[in-house]
Amino acid sequence: GAVVSQHPSWVICKSGTSVKIECRSLDFQATTMFWYRQFPKQSLMLMATSNEGSKATYEQGVEKDKFLINHASLTLSTLTVTSAHPEDSSFYICSASPVTGPSSYNSPLHFGNGTRLTVT
Amino acid sequence: AQSVAQPEDQVNVAEGNPLTVKCTYSVSGNPYLFWYVQYPNRGLQFLLKYITGDNLVKGSYGFEAEFNKSQTSFHLKKPSALVSDSALYFCAVRDLGGATNKLIFGTGTLLAVQP
């Protein structure tokens, strides 16, 4: 159980275009989803927390207008990289947990398989 | 703020030998600690967690981790390494300071198991 599906697994786009990445919780509802970015040989950096039905919470230094997050349902969050540039090339990973509230403290996050974005 | 540190970028071990991947933590309050594994171009897979109770935590694929409060460590261990264990390992701590209870990750340790 607790499967998170991410699509696409890889995408190549031209500079200046926008790319949408989907994150779905397949067998549970997720009021909160997390978007991470991973550079080669580096750790995961949290970009934003996606909240169903409300605005996402962005980490310091992450451009809200560039990385648009929409969490319109309890099973789907999307990350849109707008006007992509080569420096946006990275591995983007989403995660979610079926547990909410204080019980979520000790509940692991479940991760999608990531999306490799290459901007040419 | 909560944080974890993984002092080793890479750990090399021969197949069949025991392995240890180190992690130290810094938290205010009780720590909620996790280990994850990542294979190339894939997401992270949960291995185990420490919340409370026994200091030795057993997890998936034969891995275990020892919580040591005095040393603020949570090292990942396995008695006998397999070549298939070669991957990137992340230690993480739950950040209880905000409203989202997000996970804060260490920098990762690449485990290379030689046949």
**The pLDDT of residue B77:** 98
Interval A72-94 mean pLDDT: 95
**The pLDDT of residue B98:** 63
Residue to mutate among B102, B105, B109, with most A CBs inside 10 A, is B102
Distance CA A30, CA A5 (A): 12
Residue to mutate among B34, B100, B107, B111, with most A CBs inside 10 A, is B100
Q: Report the gap between the CA of B5 and the closest CA in chain A (Å).
A: 11
Q: Which residues of B43-76 are buried (b: 16+ CB within 10 A; e: fewer)?
A: bbbbbbbbeeeeeebebeeebbbbbeeeeebbbb
Distance CA B82, CA B79 (A): 10
**The pLDDT of residue B100:** 65
Q: How many CA atoms lie within 13 A of B102 on its CB side?
A: 25
Question: Is pLDDT above 90 for B2?
Answer: no
CB contact under 8 A, A44 and B105: yes
CB contact under 8 A, A105 and B43: no
Hey, which residues does B43 pair with through a beta bridge?
A: none
Question: Is pLDDT above 80 for B99?
Answer: no
Identify whether the C-beta of residue B1 lies closer than 8 Å to the C-beta of residue B27: no
| CB contact residues (below 8 A), chain B span 60-99, against chain A | 90, 94, 96, 99
CB contact under 8 A, B43 and A93: yes
Write out chain A residues lying below 8 Å of B34, CB-based: 108
Interval B84-104 mean pLDDT: 84
**The pLDDT of residue A10:** 95
**The pLDDT of residue B94:** 87
**The pLDDT of residue B24:** 97
Distance CA A4, CA B64 (A): 25
Question: Is pLDDT above 90 for B101?
Answer: no
Q: Which residue of B32, B43, B101 is in closest CB contact with A114? A: B43
Question: Is pLDDT above 70 for B97?
Answer: no
Q: Which residue of B44, B45, B49 is in closest CB contact with A106? A: B49
Tens digits of residue pLDDT in A14-69: 999 999 999 999 989 988 899 999 987 778 899 999 988 888 999 999 999 999 99
